[in-house]
Chain A
Amino acid sequence: MARRRPVRTALLWMAAALLFPAAARGRAVTWSPHAVSKGRQVNLGPTGARGWVEGHRIHIVDIAPGSPADGVLQPGDVLLGANGAEFAEGQDPRVALGNAITESETAAKAGKLTLLLERDGEEKTGTLGLRVMGSYSTTWPFGCAKSAKILTEACARLAAEQYPDGHMQGELGMPTMYSGLLFLASNDARYLDNARRAAYWLSEQSYAKVGLNNWPAGYCGLFLAEYYLATGDRTVLPQLEKVSKLLTLGMMRCGSWGHSSPWDGYGAVNQVGLTCLMALILTKECGVAVDEAAMQRSVTFFEKFAGKGWIPYGDHSPWRGDSGNGKNALGAVVFQLLGGHPDTVGEFSRSVAASYPYREEGHTGCYFSIFWGPLAAVHAGEKSFRTFLDHQRWYYDLARTHDGGLICQPNAENLSGRTPGHYTWCGIEFTTGGIGLVYAMPLKSLRILGAGSSVFGGKLPAPLEKARTLFEQRKWKELDASLAGLVGDRHANQLAEAAKRQKRSVELTLRAVENHIREGDVYRASELLKSLERLLGKDCPELADVQKLLAANDRWVEEGRKYYEAWSTLRDYTWQYWHFYGQQAKDMLERDGPPRVPAMWTTIAEISEKTPQTWKALQLGKGDTPPTLPKDWFTPGFDDSAWANAPGPMHAGKGKGTEWTTRDILLRRTFALAEPSYTALRLKLRSEKGQVARVYLNGTLVAEAHDGARGGYASIPLDGEAARLLKSGRNTLAVHCANTAGQRQGLDLGMEGVKP
């Protein structure tokens, strides 16, 4: 392991050298001697630390920058106890730490986690400030505010990791599928666009290219079917038709599926097979044709295992005395979806619930068991479910990262070295999506989470049929009218909710497209718009404005794509970005790579945030009375030589910049331009609540801004005509700001433009 580190570092730098040839040369590599190679690290919950478990102690090996552990713990520390209790000999310290974190995150403990640790042979205590997440309810994840919060954070985290084209980094598309499921499961209009882009990306994938690959085909079918059943978006149905055919071709005679086609590989792999069957069941619900005989063969094959033991690896007798890697859990969900098999669901789900102490076991148990176990155990009866989940609560809390992600822990097989990095197989997007489903259970938003039959699948009574058509035509008013007569009907409610979410999502996405264009992230905007065009049709009038805006800026699309290409390449070299090498890669990209947002906006007049800019200032006025301003003070020809030299920014009180003590302030500044041709201008303005700022460019009022923007500088796009006010040579920027509220005051101003 020690030998591998420099190799990986070298690889990383080779990658960097290829990507950013000039930048990578001659920079020193800095890295922690404690960083352990991929795998084997136990995530220590939202502390941000990762460690090795040794007996009843935990060795800290890695700390995420900016996390609560950063600055408190150090690699090399040994954790001896938490919240006043030493880890007891003979007990799993993960359980004690998990429980301590649960306790610390309550309002009563205010996020305070006290750790007893050994550093350089001495005992110390360290106190971490965790975010207050509240308490778990006794019925968690049901009726539980903390669980809901974890779900929201997981979605936000995934949204931040999603590539603009909708995919997530990682093997076989699995992270995209699991993340997509979670976006959808959240029932949150804010993440519907993320689910949509994931669905659209997946519906363009061809699984024939890599032979018949049943993993991605099965999961693709599962996610796209759930997506259609939740949203009624028919544009994914052609891909579901393909998936249905592929899965029938890919099925083995026994009724299960292997990794790939029946003539490749080594036979059935039921972990894949169960998802493929699940995909077929849901695809059929979407109204897409499936091979009924093939599906029935598979149902018969899997049902036979119920009550006999664990669904085994492949085409053979049940496994016994094992935990089955989550396959019985998948079995319970499959037969629950099918309906009409209560005994089978009972047998499978009760076997899962009874296996609560062994959920980590197995080759893939560390993720599939963890993802699917609760989704199955919930069918085993309330008491069994509680025992099952409460016993593992520590695991789920330790699985959380400080920034909202959810990650699996290494299990005995990983630790033994047989499959050392296996638990991180597909990265944190995969596990955040998968584990996140547990917290989404109360919403019953997906079929796999217990949603009833969908309004978008199958035949409906005539009035609902009509309403569904109106939904598809996006005739919202007529839809509302037709639903008014169907109050209380479950399907009618689903249709109304789906319409509401779609409208809200389109609105939010349109706003996001516009913002991204204005901020220069035109590539992201173009991908978002592409997904809207697919949903609504290219000619949809709602899109006309942003289409025009994008067309005017489309040369930045390719520029923006470069960042994501570089990031994707670097991530291929770095395994996991939350891991040490990933952090290094991320830093490298930020420093030397293409900018995340291309330099669409170039500075014309800089703000004073980094370097103080010199203005000419006149302070005047006291109290409520507006002062009389000098005549023509804002014109280029005005003589401001008597005004004070004032470095920016202006603010009340002492400090960097200029103290502003009066009610009003007048500022003037000139800048030289050799080439005054800009297609657009925007102001960067820092102002405060209760202030009014009037900005003049070369003697013409171009903006009147009320109040300030939260968190610093506001970007204020100027009218298209404003750019024509610029001239070659000397230009004058003038601003009059009045603080009418008399509270805190401050002012800074800059200007940026887009070159043709």
Chain B
Amino acid sequence: MRVLVAAALAAMTTLGCARAAAPDKSVSQLVKELGAEIPDQRLDAAKALAKKGPEVAPALIKALKDKDWRVRRGATDALAALKEQAKDAVPALIEALKDKEPWVRDGAATALGRIGPDAEPAARPLVELLKDKDEWVRESAMTALPQVTKDKDILLQGAINAVMVPDTGWSVRRHAMGVFGRYAKDCKPAVPALVYMLEHPGEGMWMSIDRVAEILAGVGEAEKAVSLLTGLLKSDDQGTRHRAATALGKLGKDAAAALPVLKTLAAQNDDERLRKAAAAAVEQIEAKKPGK
């Protein structure tokens, strides 16, 4: 049976669905194709260029200045595919972080991340890029930052910048939360950012309200966390109310101040989900050992 599946799979992937192998085209031809109209064709050209090895880097550095944004973005894709072999392009890519086209800034950030520790000079510029108005750019910068540096303070600063942009959604906050979670004990400087997240829960927060509160409590800001969560119990959003109650429960004894409100909510009948979450939280807070 297994053999049959494998054989059938091979038939479908190698025959029915095979992508055409990149023909052996010249570097200049491929650079031109970086500007092709179909995004996948541009990507194919970028991959074909990367296959040729680091000697294509100068051509790509030049292409980063092309007047067509597609070519510039394609050049970042090719450099990203070259990974650490593209380290000579770091200064040019740092410059490309200021490209007027967001999709090029996005590509430059990604390429710097793929180059890795050799791109450490890009760390500070990436932290600045995390204030970019384009969400995809911030997402890519937030992904790239931990790839180019292990410097805790720089990483935290980047995450702080990223989450404090108004209307940031899940795509950015999930990466930032990764950083806050990893350096939870060192998040004292991130308190304003964490508070900002609880004040602007939005939907980028739909899985991390409790984690943010825990991190705040861990750096001695439990009182602040409890007061913000108590405020969220009155949110217009059903999910936020429910998650705030759950988060208060997870804080255990630290959330004792919220008990009166939670007890009222555990007795109401308007929102069943909130009632259950509040009742569970009351139980956790009143437990001898802090519940997890």
Contacts of B240 in A (CB 8 A): 263
- Interface 1/0 per residue, A399-431 and B, CB below 8 Å: 000000000000110011100000000000000
Interface members, chain B 10-64 (any A CB < 8 Å): 10-13, 15-20, 37-41, 43
The stretch that binds A, out of B90-98, B145-153, B167-175, is: B167-175
Task: Tell me if B181 counts as interface (CB < 8 A to partner A).
Answer: no
Judging by beta carbons under 8 Å apart, are A264 and B239 in contact? yes
Instruction: Please tell me which one of the listed residues A266, A357, A416 contacts residue B17 in the complex, with CB atoms under 8 A apart.
Output: A357
Query: Is the pair A360, B169 in contact by a Cβ cutoff of 8 Å?
Result: no
- Let me know if B242 and A263 touch, CB within 8 A: yes
Closest 7 A/B residue pairs (Cβ) = A263-B239, A92-B15, A316-B171, A309-B39, A354-B38, A92-B16, A317-B136
Interchain CB contact under 8 A, B237 and A263: yes
Q: Residues of B contacting A266 with CB < 8 Å? A: 207
Q: Is the CB of A354 within 8 A of B41?
A: yes
Q: Cβ of A254 and Cβ of B40 under 8 Å apart?
A: no
Please report the C-alpha to C-alpha distance between residue A248 and residue B156 in the assembled complex, in whole angstroms.
36
Of B1-9, B185-193, B212-220, B277-285, the one contacting chain A is B1-9
Interface centre among A314, A317, A361 (most CB of B within 10 A): A317
Chain A residues within an 8 Å CB radius of B41? 354
Task: Enumerate chain A residues within 8 angstroms of B286, measured Cβ to Cβ.
Answer: none
Q: How many residues of B contact A (CB 8 A)?
A: 40
Closest to B235 in A: A263
Out of A59, A91, A310, A417, which one reaches B15, CB within 8 Å? A91
Which A271-319 residues have C-beta < 8 A from chain B?
304, 307-310, 314-318
What are 10 A-B interface contacts by the 8 Å CB criterion?
A52-B4, A54-B4, A54-B8, A91-B15, A92-B16, A263-B242, A317-B140, A351-B40, A354-B41, A415-B8
Flag A246-264 by CB within 8 Å of B: 1 or 0 each.
Answer: 0000001110000001111
Residue B125 at the chain A interface, CB threshold 8 Å? no
With an 8 A cutoff between CB atoms, is A56 at the interface? yes
The residue in chain B whose Cβ has the minimal distance to the Cβ of A317 is B136
The verdict on B139 contacting chain A, using a C-beta distance below 8 Å, is yes
Any A CB within 8 A of the CB of B238: yes
B 233-259 binary contact with A (CB < 8 Å = 1; else 0): 000011110100000000000000000
Q: How far is the CA of A607 from the CA of B167 in the complex (A)?
A: 78
Known: A53-B8, A358-B19, A360-B17. A351 touches B171 (CB 8 A): no
Q: What distance in Å separates the Cβ of B136 from its nearest Cβ neighbour in chain A?
A: 5
Question: With a CB–CB cut-off of 8 A, which chain A residues contact B12?
Answer: 53, 92, 360, 411-412, 415
Bound: A357/B202 CA distance, A:
40
Within 8 A of B (CB), among A54-87: 54-56, 59
B166 to A: closest C-beta gap in Å? 11
**Residues of A within 8 Å of B, CB-based: how many?**
50
The interface bits of chain A over 24-59 (1 if a CB of B lies within 8 angstroms of the residue's CB, else 0) are: 000000000000000010000000000011111001
* A307 neighbours in B (Cβ, 8 Å): 37, 39
Give the residue name and chain of the A residue nearest to B237 (CB): A263
Assess whether A350 is interfacial by the CB under 8 Å rule. yes
Find out whether the CB atom of A263 lies under 8 angstroms from the CB atom of B238: yes
Say yes or no: B9 contacts A416, CB within 8 Å. yes
The answer to whether B171 and A416 have CB atoms under 8 Å apart is no
Chain B residues with CB under 8 Å of A756's CB are none
With an 8 A cutoff between CB atoms, is A702 at the interface? no
Inter-chain contacts of A93 with B (CB < 8 A): 11
Instruction: Report how far A93 CA is from B10 CA in the complex, Å.
Output: 13
Q: Which residue of B is nearest A1, CB measured?
A: B1
Which residues on B sit within 8 Å (CB–CB) of A416? 5, 9
The CA-CA distance from A308 to B40 in the complex, in Å, is 9
| CB closest residue in chain B, given A56 | B11
Q: Tell me the bound Cα distance from A59 to B140 in angstroms.
A: 47
- Are B11 and A55 closer than 8 Å at their CB atoms? yes
For chain A residues 152-178, which have a beta carbon within 8 Å of chain B?
none
A-side interface residues toward B, CB under 8 Å?
1, 40, 52-56, 59, 90-95, 252-254, 261-264, 266-268, 304, 307-310, 314-318, 320-321, 347, 350-351, 354-355, 357-358, 360-361, 411-412, 415-417
Contact (Cβ within 8 A) B39 A320: yes
Shortest Cβ gap from B77 to chain A (Å): 8
Which residues of A sit under 8 angstroms from B18, Cβ to Cβ?
A: 357
A520 to chain B, nearest CB (A): 48
Q: Which residue from A52, A91, A267, A361 sits with its C-beta under 8 Å from B170? A: A267
B106 at the interface (CB under 8 A from A): yes
5 additional contacts (CB under 8 A) given A1-B1, A94-B16, A416-B9:
A54-B7, A92-B11, A92-B12, A92-B16, A317-B106
A653 CA to B19 CA, complexed, in Å: 68
- A315 and B170 in contact, given A262-B203, A354-B38 (Cβ under 8 angstroms): yes
Complexed CA–CA distance, A56 and B11 (Å)? 7
From B5, B40, B140, give the contact of A321 (CB < 8 A). Answer: B40
Closest to B44 in A: A321
Q: Which residues of A contact B170 (CB under 8 A)?
A: 254, 267-268, 314-315
CB–CB A350/B4 < 8 A:
no
Q: Which residues of B contact A347 (CB under 8 A)?
A: 37
Q: Cβ of B7 and Cβ of A350 under 8 Å apart?
A: no
CA distance A206 to B278 in the complex (A): 29
Q: Are B7 and A55 in contact (CB under 8 A)?
A: yes
Minimum CB–CB distance for B262 against chain A, Å? 19
Q: Flag whether B196 is at the interface (Cβ < 8 A).
A: no
**Assuming A263-B206, A357-B17, A357-B18, is B7 touching A320 (CB within 8 A)?**
no
Q: A358-B17, A412-B17, A415-B12 are in contact. Are A320 and B40 (CB under 8 A)?
A: yes
B183 at the interface (CB under 8 A from A): no
**In the complex the two chains form, what is the Cα distance from A506 to B9 in whole Å?**
51
Contact of A267 among B15, B206, B242 (CB under 8 A): B206
Are B38 and A351 touching (Cβ within 8 A)?
A: yes
Q: Within the complex, which residue of A55, A304, A318 is in contact with B39, where a contact is CB–CB below 8 Å? A: A318
Contacting residues, chain A, for B11 (C-beta < 8 A) = 53-56, 92-93
Q: How far is the CA of A555 from the CA of B8 in the complex (A)?
A: 55
Residues of A within 8 A of B202 (CB): 253
Chain B positions within 8 Å of A53 at CB level? 8, 11-12
Taken together as a complex, chains A and B put the C-alpha atoms of A357 and B38 apart, in Å, by 14
Residues of A within 8 A of B106 (CB): 317
Residues of A within 8 A of B242 (CB): 263
CB distance from B239 to the nearest CB of A (A): 2
Do A309 and B17 touch across chains, with their CB atoms under 8 A apart? no
* Beta-carbon contact of B171 and A315 below 8 Å: yes
* CB-based contact A267/B8 at 8 Å: no
Chain A's closest residue to B12 (CB) is A412
Q: Are A320 and B43 in contact (CB under 8 A)?
A: yes
A90 to B14, CA, bound (A): 9
**What's the nearest-Cβ distance from chain B to residue A384, in Å?**
10
Whether A252 pairs with B203 at a CB distance below 8 angstroms is yes
Most chain B Cβ neighbours within 10 Å, of A261, A314, A350, A412: A412
Contact: A254 with B169, CB < 8 Å? yes
B203 engages A350 (CB within 8 Å): no
Interchain nearest-CB distance for A550 vs B (Å): 44
Question: B139 — which chain A residues lie within 8 A by C-beta?
Answer: 316-317
Contact across chains for A350 and B9 when beta carbons are under 8 A apart: no
CA distance A358 to B13 in the complex (A): 9
Instruction: Say how far A426's CB is from chain B's closest CB, in angstroms.
Output: 22
| Complex contacts, A52 vs chain B, CB 8 Å | 4, 8
Q: B19 touches which one: A94, A263, A268, A357 (CB < 8 A)?
A: A357
A361, B40: Cβ atoms closer than 8 Å: no
Most chain B beta carbons < 10 A, residue from A310, A354, A415 = A415
Q: List A contacts of B167 (CB < 8 A).
A: 253
Query: How many whole Å from B284's CB to the nearest CB in chain A?
Result: 21
Residues in B neighbouring A412, C-beta threshold 8 A: 9, 12-13, 17
Q: How far is the CB of B281 from chain A (nearest CB, A)?
A: 17
Which of A262, A263, A267, A320: most chain B CB closer than 10 A? A263
Q: Which residues of B contact A262 (CB under 8 A)?
A: 203, 206, 237, 239
Minimum Cβ distance to chain B for residue A298 (Å): 14
Residues of B within 8 A of A314 (CB): 170
B140 to chain A: closest residue by CB: A317
Contacts of B10 in A (CB 8 A): 55
